[in-house]
Structure 1
Amino acid sequence: MNSTVPTSDNEEQFEGKWVCQIMTAEGVIGVLGNLLVCFVILRAKCLHNLTNYLLVNLAVADMLLCLHAFIYYLVTAEGCALISFVPASQGGRQIFCRLLASRFSVRALSYASAYNLCVVTLERYVAIVHPLQYERKLTATRMKTLITLIWMISFVLSLPILFTIYPSDDPEQACSEITYPHQMFPLILNIGSFILGYLVPVTSMSLAYYKMQVTLKRQAKALRLQQAREAAYDLVIARQRLVSVLTIVLGAFVILLTPGFVTYLLCLHPTANGPFSFCASKYYRYTREICNLAYYLNSVINPIIYEFKYKKFRKALKSAFCSCFKKHNRNRVDIAMVPL
C-alpha cells in the first residue's frame, strides 16, 4: 500500500506536467498568432476600416487571454506548474493570488473576448441589414465608448472572484485554497458566467448572422435579376465572404467553449460536493483539462481562420511580409555598396 502511493502521485504529476507543457505552448502560439493579426491589419492600408479595427480589438483580448494561459500554467497551476514561483513581498503575493491564481484575469478576458466578438457582429449587422443608418449609428465616438464599456464591464463582472483566495502565511506557499463565502456562491458564479459569457453572446450573434445571411442572399438575387453593375454585385459577394468568415469564428466559439461550460455547470467546485459521482472521479479531472485545452484553443484558432478563409487578410499578410523582406534586402544592398 505504501509503495503504491508515491507511484500514483508521480503518475499524476507526470500527467500534469504534460498538460502544462501543452497549455504553455498553446499560450505562446496564441500570443504570436494574435499579434500577427494586429500587425497585418495595422500595417496594410487596404484593411484600414472599422470592421478590421474591431478585429484588432478582438485579437488583443485573445492575445491577453493566451498570455494569461502561458503564465498561469507556467508558474501557478496547481499540481503541474512548470516553474515553482512564490512572490517574496506581501504586495506581490496579493497581486499573484488575486489576479492570477484566482482566475480573475481569465474570466474577465473571456468576457472581453466574447463581447468584442459581439461588437464585430453588431457592426456587420448594421452595415448589411440597416446600411442607411450605418454612419449615423456607428460613429467613431460611439464605437470607442462601446469598446471602453465592454472592457470595463468584463472586469466588473469578474470582481467577485477576487475575494475567493488570499495570500498564504506559509513562506513556501503563495496562496491559500479557494474558499467561498457561501455554498451558493459557486452556483451563482457559474450560472452567471454561463448566461453572461456564453448564452447571451451566442444567441444574439446567431440571430444576427442568420438575419445577415438572409439579407445578403436577397440582395444578391435582386442584383442578378436587375442585371446590376458588376461592382455592386462584387460588393455583396465580398460581404458574404466576410460574414462567412465571422460565422466560422462564431462556430469555433460555440464548439470549443460548450463542453467547458457544460462540465462546470454539472460539477461545481469542490468536485467532492458535485451532484454526480463522476464529479469526484479522476475522469472529471481529465475532462476538465481537455475542456481547458479547448477553451484556450478558441483564442488561438482565430488567426488560422483568417489565414485560410479571409482572402483580403491573406493578401495583406503576403504583402506585409514581402514588403518587409524587400526592404530588408534593399538595406543590405545599400550597406554593402558603401565604401569603407
Structure 2
Amino acid sequence: MPDNCTSVEYDFEHKILPSIYTMVLIIGLGANGWGMKSILQKQKKVGNNVFLLNIGLANFLFLPTLPFLSAYYFMNSNWIFGDAFCKITRFCFNLNLYGSIGFLTCISVDRYLAIVHPMKAKRRITVRNSVVISVMVWLLVSAQSLPDVLFPKNSTNRTEKCHHTTSTEYVENYLKYSVGWTLTGFVMPFLIFLGCYGHVTLVLWRKNTINKVVKQRSLKLMFILILLFSVCYIPYHIFKNLSLYSRVLFSTNKKYPSWDKTVFCAHQISRGLVCLNSVLNPLVYLHVMDIPAQLQQLLQQFRQTFTRLFVSEYGSVPVEQTVTTTISQQ
C-alpha cells in the first residue's frame, strides 16, 4: 500500500472502483446498444444523429476494456496483460472521455444553431457537414491523446503496473502535458458549451414565439449535459491535475503536501465518476431521439392489441367488465 494511501482509499481503488467498472460495463453495453439501434433505425433523420452515433462509438471503444481494468484493480494493481495492451487500454479510455466531450459540445452547438439561428442551421447542418466535423473531432482527440501513450505506464522496478498517468520519474513533464490537455480537451469545449446554452436560455425565455415543447426539451437537454459535465468531467480534471502536482512536489521535496490525502481520495472517487459518462451518455439518446414518446407509443399499441384480443373472444363486452367477470368466476 502506498505511503500516502489510507485503508479507506486503498479499499476504494481495489474494491469499489473495479465494482463500478463492472456495473458500468453491464449497464453501458445494454443502454448504448439500445440507443445506437434506435438511432440507426431512424435513417431519415440520420443527419441529426451523426454526433450521437459517434458518442456511442466512443463508449464502445472504452467498455470492452473494463473487464481488464477491473481485474487489474481486484488483483491489487497487478497488470498481467502486457505493457502494449496497458497503453491501448488507457488510450481507449482517453478517446472515450475526450471524444464524448467533443461530440457533446457539437450537439450543444447544433442545438444553439437550431434555436438561435434556425435558418442558418438548415443550410449548414447536413449529413456531409456532420461527418466532416466528426472526423475532425476524432483526429483532434487522437492527437491530444497520443502523447499519453509515449509516457511509461509502469515503474522502473515494477513492470506489472499500469498507471493511468505515468511513473514518478516522468511526472513533472506529464503534469505540463496534462494541464495543456485539460485546457484544449476540456476547458475550451466547456466554455463553448456554456456560451451556447447561456445564449439559448436567454432566447428561450425572451421569445414567446418558440413552442413550449421545444423550450422544455431544450432545457432538459441542457440539464442532462450540465449533469454530465458536473458529475463526470469537472471533478476528474481538477483532482487529476492536483494529484499530479502533489506528486511533483513529492519528487522535489521528498514529502507530500498536507492536502495530499484529501486530493488523493477525491481523485480516486473522481476516477469512478468519470467512467459513469458511458452510462449517462445514453440519457442524451433518450432525450434527442424522444425515446420516452416511442415507449408510450409502444405501450398504446400493446393496449390496443390487448383490447382486440378480448373483443375477439368476448364480443363487444368491455375489457373492464370481462376482467371483473373472470375474477368473480375464480
* Counterpart for residue 212 of structure 2: 237
* Counterpart for residue 276 of structure 2: 297
Cα distance change of structure 1 residues 109 and 123 upon mapping to structure 2, 3 Å threshold: same
The residue identity in structure 2 corresponding to 1:313 is I
**How many Å apart are 1:106 and its aligned residue?**
1.4
Matched-pair contact (CA < 8 Å) for 2:47–2:130: no
283-292 or 105-114: which moved more? Answer: 283-292
1:223-302 equivalences in 2 (<5 Å): 223=209, 236-256=211-231, 257-268=233-244, 271=247, 273=249, 276-279=257-260, 281=261, 283-302=262-281
**How many Å apart are 1:154 and its aligned residue?**
0.6
- Aligned sequence identity (%): 21
Q: Distance in 1 between matches of 2:176 and 2:159?
A: 33
RMSD: 3.8
* Counterpart for residue 67 of structure 2: 71
Aligned length: 293
- Per-residue CA distance 1:2-25 (angstroms, 9 max, x = gap): xxxxxx989946861233122221
1:50-199 equivalences in 2 (<5 Å): 50-68=47-65, 70-77=66-73, 80=76, 86-87=80-81, 93-100=82-89, 103-165=90-152, 173=160, 178-179=166-167, 184-199=172-187
The residue identity in structure 2 corresponding to 1:200 is M
* Counterpart for residue 20 of structure 1: 18
The residue identity in structure 1 corresponding to 2:189 is P
* Counterpart for residue 293 of structure 2: 315
SS at match of 2:290: helix
* Consecutive unaligned residues in structure 1, runs of 5 or more: 1-7, 88-92, 224-232, 327-340
Matched-pair contact (CA < 8 Å) for 2:101–2:189: yes
Cα distance change of structure 1 residues 277 and 123 upon mapping to structure 2, 3 Å threshold: same
Matched-pair contact (CA < 8 Å) for 2:29–2:60: yes
Cα distance change of structure 1 residues 57 and 322 upon mapping to structure 2, 3 Å threshold: farther
* Consecutive unaligned residues in structure 2, runs of 5 or more: 1-5, 251-255, 305-330
Cα distance change of structure 1 residues 116 and 10 upon mapping to structure 2, 3 Å threshold: closer
Could you state the TM-score of these two structures normalised by the residue count of structure 2? Answer: 0.73
**How many Å apart are 1:26 and its aligned residue?**
2.1
The residue identity in structure 2 corresponding to 1:141 is R
**How many Å apart are 1:63 and its aligned residue?**
4.0
**How many Å apart are 1:200 and its aligned residue?**
1.0
Could you state the TM-score of these two structures normalised by the residue count of structure 1? Answer: 0.71
Matched-pair contact (CA < 8 Å) for 2:91–2:148: yes
